[in-house]
Amino acid sequence: MGGFPILSLMLLVPFIGAIACLFSEAKTARIIALVATLANLGLGIVLWASYDIGGAQWQFTERADLFAGFQWALGIDGIALMLLVLTVFLMPICIGASWSSITKRVGEYMAAFLMVEVLIIGVFTAQDLLLFYIFFEAGLIPMYLIIGVWGGDNRIYASYKFFLYTLLGSVLMLIAMLWMVREAGTSDIPTLMAYDFPAGAQTWLFLAFFASFAVKMPMWPVHTWLPDAHVQAPTAGSIILAGVLLKMGGYGFIRFSLPMFPEASAQFGWLIWSLSMVAVVVTSLIALVQADMKKLIAYSSVAHMAIVTIGLFAFNVQGLEGAMVVMLSHGLVSGALFLCVGIIYDRLHTREIARYGGLAINMPMYAMFFLLFTMASIGLPGTSGFVGEFLSLAGIYQVSSWVALVCTTGIILGAAYMLLLYRRVAFGDQVNADAAAMKDINVREWLMLAPLAAAALWMGVYPESFLAPMRKDIATLDARLARAAPHGDAKLVITEKAAAADEHAAHEGAH
């Protein structure tokens, strides 16, 4: 693509769309938003197709000096590419999900969504620390509005909670960033990723960043904003929140915390592991007793994100790649699950699980999709959920068998709460007349669900398409972390000298 500023264009398209939406009436706004997001999806596919796997680490770079060393610097590596593609893939689905369910202030709503897209793309493409910060924090505002204006009955509480929490770490992160810029003399992210901060300073920098990313992730115990935000948000808000916004935390860890503060990351490994272990068990158990569908899926998100953090902090290739695939997969699958909830919410206007039942009878197509995403969520091999979960857990096992054991219990609890949900919604007899009268999915809904289903299966059967662009970047990161990586507790020890030689030969043979 040469010097063509495709990343700036991807920011510009939804931005212009957003402004146009503000001044349009409902019908036009919908079409503008759909066209803008589809155009960006097209650009995203072009980006993916022309990304040079194994080429330069940073591609499609753009750089323009603004003021005081502050730069308009964009560029992506394989990791950012995949998250970017996820974002532009989910956006048209979000617009589709809001097509008929949003009826008031449609122009503003679509504008807010397009702004969310701009800011998220900015987060994943920014190569300047301050530029990143601006995108990262500004992303809160349209999301806050989406929940606060178009949300459910308790939307004000939820949006304040969302805002308070996510703002919590921001100030600390900003201070840390300013210190880093002064210390390293640059705000260029690629340079900072290779800069060795003194180990003592790393500790504080790590904690400052951690405060922000842990909330975004969200990690236990700063996760309580998520269930409320999801429950109150409109369907599309939930999709984008679970699908992409949560990934900003994971992206922060993999882009900043790990490469910039490798020693501190290793030092705080125990903290991440402990919080992740607690998250997997506790939030899964909480999900088990929920009566509200969205809350249930929101809690399951927290458990899934814990698998991301243990993968990231396994300090090996399997863990890192696994964490990335979990993020991508969760983006698709939890997005799809919220969409599934939205579809029946549009018909019955309740999220209460007990109000449904026997949907497999009157909505067989819907039941099939819902089943597929349920299975992907509990990590059935052949779906996207498995690949990431398996690699993450395989990664952490090499570091700590305890953490692996505790986190693997998630596959049991996950199966329990998701299948219980599925049973109560789709199985059983039709007990509620109004639920029994609901029509199966229409063409618009099919058009949203089918691509998600195809993507989830593709990622499960042939994840190479997604792993290949990231491989080199993960290897680079792994090499950088090697010096700090903790020793595993499960290492093999050959006890008999005589056997050692044999084993070694066998071991070599195995390679």
Partner 1 sequence: MSSILIIVFAPLLASIIAGLGNRHIGNVPAKIITTAGLFISCGLSWPIFIHYLGGDVPAQVVPVLKWVQSGSMSFDWALRVDTLTAIMLVVITSVSALVHLYSWGYMDEDPDQPRFFAYLSLFTFAMLMLVTADNLVQMFFGWEGVGLASYLLIGFWFKKPSAGAAAIKAFVVNRVGDLGFMLGIFGTFLVFQTTSIPEILAAAPALKGASSIGFLGMRVDTMTVLCLLLFVGAMGKSAQLGLHTWLPDAMEGPTPVSALIHAATMVTAGVFMVCRLSPMFEAAPIALGVVTFIGAATCLFAATVGTTQWDIKRVIAYSTCSQLGYMFFAAGVGAYGAAMFHLFTHAFFKALLFLGAGSVIHAMHHEQDMRFYGGLRRHIPITFWAMMAGTLAITGVGVYHLGVGFAGFFSKDAIIEVAYASGTEVGRFAFWIGVFAALLTSFYSWRLMFLTFWGKPRWIQSEHIQHAVHDAHGHHDDHADYAHTAHDDRAHAAHADHGHDDHAHDHGDGTGGYHPHESPLVMLIPLIVLSVGAVAAGQVFKGAFLDTAAFWNGSIAYNEHLMHAMHEVPYLVKYAALIVMLLGLLIAWYGYIRNTNFPRSVAEQLGPVYRFLFNKWYFDQLYHVVFIKPALWLGRQFWQRGDVGLIDRFGPNGAAWLVDRGAVLAKKVQSGYLTSYALVMLLGLVAAISWVLV
Of residues 475 through 494, those in contact with partner 1 by CB under 8 A are 475, 478, 488-494
d(CA 351, CA 252): 32
For partner 1, the closer of residues 106 and 282 by Cβ is: 282
With respect to partner 1, which residue has the nearer C-beta, 97 or 287?
A: 287
DSSP state of 241: I
Residue with Cβ nearer partner 1 (208 or 391): 391
Q: E strand or H helix at 59, and its extent?
A: strand 59-67
List the x/- string, 277-316, binding to partner 1 by CB under 8 A: -----x--xxxxxx-------------------------x
Q: Which is nearer to partner 1, 45 or 475 (CB)?
A: 475
Tokens 């969409």 — which residue? 339
Q: How far is CA 317 from CA 123, 140, 235, 279, in A?
A: 24, 32, 35, 23
Q: How many residues bind partner 1 (CB under 8 A)?
A: 83
Which CB, 130 or 214, lies closer to partner 1? 214
* In the complex, minimum distance from the CB of residue 422 to partner 1, in angstroms, rounded to a whole number: 9
CB of 192 to partner 1, least distance (A): 25
Q: Which is nearer to partner 1, 159 or 187 (CB)?
A: 159
List, in sequence order, every residue forming a beta bridge with 292; answer none if it has no partner.
352
**For residues 342 and 385, which CB has a smaller minimum distance to partner 1 in the complex?**
385
Amino acid at 199: A
Q: Of the listed pieces 42-50, 68-76, 203-211, 467-475, which binds partner 1 according to CB under 8 A?
A: 467-475
**Binding flag, residue 467, partner 1 (CB under 8 A):** yes
Closest separation between CB of residue 473 and partner 1, Å?
A: 13
To partner 1, the closest distance from the beta carbon of 398 in angstroms equals 6
In this chain, which stretch among 123-131, 346-354, 419-427, 449-457 interacts with partner 1, using CB under 8 A?
419-427
Among 358, 363, 435, 477, binds partner 1 (CB under 8 A): 358
- Strand-pairing partners, residue 70, are 67
Q: Is-contact 11 122, C-beta < 8 A?
A: yes
CB of 116 to partner 1, least distance (A): 23
317 is an interface residue for partner 1 by CB under 8 A? yes
Quick one: 64 or 431, whose CB is closer to partner 1?
Answer: 431
Q: Which residue of 2, 3, 54, 509 would you call a contact of partner 1, by CB under 8 A? A: 509
* Residue 120 CB neighbour total at 10 angstroms: 30
Which residues between 55 and 114 bind partner 1 (CB under 8 A)? none
Tell me whether residue 57 or residue 409 sits nearer to partner 1 (CB atom). Answer: 409
Three-class secondary structure assignment of 350-377 = CCEHHHCCCHHHHCHHHHHHHHHHHHHH
- What single string gives the DSSP state of each residue in 249-308? HHHHIIIIIHHH-HHHHHHTHHHHHHHHHHHHHHHHHHHHT--BHHHHHHHHHHHHHHHH
Report which secondary-structure segment, H or E, holds 107: helix 106-125
What lies within 8 Å, CB to CB, of 75 at 6+ separation is 7, 58, 59, 60, 61, 62, 125, 127, 190
Residues 244-283 that bind partner 1 (CB under 8 A): 282
> Rounded to an integer, what distance in angstroms lies between the CA atom of residue 492 and that of residue 489?
9
Q: Which 164-223 residues touch partner 1, going by CB under 8 A? A: 164-165, 221-222
Pick between residue 135 and residue 313 the one whose CB is nearest to partner 1: 313
Pick the piece of the chain touching partner 1 (CB under 8 A) from 81-89, 108-116, 190-198, 501-509: 501-509
When asked if residue 454 is in the footprint of partner 1 (CB under 8 A), the reply is no
> Cα separations (Å) of 114 from 31, 36, 40, 338?
12, 8, 11, 19
Taking CA atoms, 65 is separated from 69, 72, 126, 188, 363, in Å, by 7, 6, 14, 12, 56
Residues 117-156 within binding reach of partner 1 (CB under 8 A):
none
Distance CA 383, CA 101 (A): 30
Binding residues for partner 1 restricted to 322-341, rule: CB under 8 A: 322
Residues 396-415 that bind partner 1 (CB under 8 A): 397-398, 401-402, 404-405, 408-409, 411-413, 415
Give how far the C-alpha of residue 209 lies from the chain's centroid of Cα atoms, to the nearest Å.
18
